[in-house]
Structures are given as structure tokens and as C-alpha cells.
Amino acid sequence: MMRLSLIALAAAGLMLPAGAALAQTAPASTVTLTFETGADRGAVMVALFDSEAGYAGDRPVGRQRLDVAAGQRTAVFEGLPAGDYAAKAFHDVNGDGEMNFNPFGIPVEPYAFSNNAVGNMGPASWDRARFTVSGPTAQTIHLR
């Protein structure tokens, strides 16, 4: 009987750390990004990143295509763990699925970053675009 009690106690002790870890797990969050556009055609292409390396290397945790002509202006990313995120977006006005550039490499279609961050001679840095998610989070982003 004593042996059975010790086995049960040991098993309970092994399960305690797993239960404690579950209790400390933060609930998944939702990020809602609403875009202000200057045209009612084409699509807004949105990418959400959860690390500086992913942001720099174009490895998003989520992508969405919003049909502007159909009135879609909001991207919702669900089930995200708490942490730092940043978004990149562009308005594919002509609907070719790509961001278009002039001969000098300057974008000719509107684009934007989370926090409405602006870059110096290039995309906004991770530090400027980064925002912290610890619950439902929403931003309005102006495509320019």
C-alpha cells in the first residue's frame, strides 16, 4: 500500500510541471489591421512578421490579400502568441500581384508599415514598425 502511494505521488509530481506550464501559457491573440487606401480597385497585400529576421528575410507568419474593389480593407490575424510583430503592406492597384517600381527602383504603388512607420531610403526598420501584442491589438495603417 505504501509503495502504491509513493508511485502515485511520483506520478503526480511528474505531472505538476506540465500543469504549471499550461497554466502560464498566454491565450492566443488577434491582430486587426485596417488600411486606408486612395483607390477603390486592386488588392492590398499584407504580410505579418514575428521576428526581425523574418521581417528582413520576408518570412511572414501570415499573409492576406484584401480585395479592395469588394470593399475589403481589414486583415485579421488570429491565434497569435504574445510577442513582437510588424507588418508590411502594399496596394496592388493594377492587380498584377506584384509591387511595381519605376526605373530607379522607387515604388509606384502605395505601401506602408505597421505603426505607419517610415523608412529612410528604403523600408521602415523592424524597430520602427514593431508593436507588442499581449491581447487583441488593432491598428489603422495609411497606404501612401
Q: Which pTM does this prediction carry?
A: 0.81
Cell of 63: 499573409
The confidence score (pLDDT) of residue 6 equals 37
pLDDT digit of tens for each residue in the chain (144 aa)? 444 343 433 444 444 444 444 445 668 999 999 999 999 999 999 999 999 999 999 999 999 999 999 999 999 999 999 999 999 999 999 999 999 999 999 999 999 999 999 999 899 999 999 999 999 999 999 999
The domains found in the chain, sorted by start residue, are 29-142 (2.60.40.10)
- 134 torsion bin: left (phi>0), alpha (psi -120 to 50), beta (else): alpha
Cα-based distances in Å from 17 to 11, 12, 124, 128 = 11, 9, 42, 38
What is the C-alpha R_g of the chain?
Answer: 22
pLDDT at residue number 24: 59
Q: What is the pLDDT of residue 4?
A: 39
